[in-house]
Amino acid sequence: MGDGTSARRLEPSEVPTPERILDAALASFGSRGYDGTSLDALGAALGMSKQAILYWFGSKEGLLDALIDRSARELADVLELALVGADGGWAKVEAVVRSAFRLAGRRPELLGLVREVSRLGPGAALRLVSALQPLIERATAFLEAEMDAGRLRRHDPTILLLASYSAVTGVATEVEVLRALGVEPDRRSLARRRRALIDLLRAALVPAPMPG
Amino acid sequence: MGDGTSARRLEPSEVPTPERILDAALASFGSRGYDGTSLDALGAALGMSKQAILYWFGSKEGLLDALIDRSARELADVLELALVGADGGWAKVEAVVRSAFRLAGRRPELLGLVREVSRLGPGAALRLVSALQPLIERATAFLEAEMDAGRLRRHDPTILLLASYSAVTGVATEVEVLRALGVEPDRRSLARRRRALIDLLRAALVPAPMPG
DNA sequence: CTCCTGTTCTACCATATGGTAAGTGAGTGC
DNA sequence: GCACTCACTTACCATATGGTAGAACAGGAG
Q: CA B1, B78, B185 angle in degrees (round to 5)? A: 135
Indicate if CB(B49) is under 7 A from strand D. Answer: no
- Give the tens place of pLDDT for each residue, A10-41: 445 578 889 999 999 999 998 889 999 999 99
**B 56-115: CB under 8 A from A:** 115
More confident residue, B200 or A118: B200
Nearest-by-CA chain A residue for B196? A156
**B 20-59: CB under 8 A from A:** 33, 35-36
Domain at A64-205, CATH class:
mainly alpha
Type of residue numbered B132: L
- Give the tens place of pLDDT for each residue, B88-106: 899 999 999 999 999 999 9
| A189 contact B CB<8A | no
Q: Taking residues A161-171, what's their average pLDDT?
A: 95
Residue A114 has pLDDT above 60, yes or no: yes
CA distance to B108, B143, B185, per residue, from B177 (Å): 15, 31, 10
Tell which of B200, B201, B205 to mutate to test the A interface (max A CBs under 10 Å).
B200
Confidence at B210, pLDDT banded by 50, 70, 90: low
Length of chain A: 212
Confidence at A145, pLDDT banded by 50, 70, 90: very high
Helices A187-205 and B157-173 meet at what angle, rounded to 10? 70
**For B39 and D26, how far is CA from C1' in angstroms?**
25
Q: CA B152, B155, B158 angle in degrees (round to 5)? A: 115
Contact B158 A119 (CB under 8 A): no
Tell which of B156, B174, B178, B206 to mutate to test the A interface (max A CBs under 10 Å).
B156
**For B56 and C11, how far is CA from C1' in angstroms?**
20
- Give the tens place of pLDDT for each residue, B127-182: 999 999 999 999 999 999 999 999 999 999 999 999 999 999 999 988 888 887 88
| SS3 of residue B153 by DSSP | coil
- For residues B161 and B140, the answer to whether their CB atoms sit within 8 Å is yes
- For residues A147 and A88, the answer to whether their CB atoms sit within 8 Å is no
Specify the CATH superfamily of domain B69-205. Answer: Tetracycline Repressor, domain 2 (1.10.357.10)
Q: Given this model, what pLDDT does residue A5 score?
A: 38
Which residues on chain A are in Cβ contact (under 8 Å) with B108?
A: none
A123-127, A156-160, B5-9 — which is least confidently predicted? B5-9
Contact A171 B163 (CB under 8 A): yes
Confidence at B3, pLDDT banded by 50, 70, 90: very low
| A182 contact B CB<8A | yes
Which residues on chain B are in Cβ contact (under 8 Å) with A183?
A: 158
Backbone φ, ψ for residue B153 (5° rounding): -65, 150
Residue A6 has pLDDT above 50, yes or no: no
d(CA B38, CA B35) in angstroms, rounded, equals 7
- For residues B100 and B44, the answer to whether their CB atoms sit within 8 Å is no
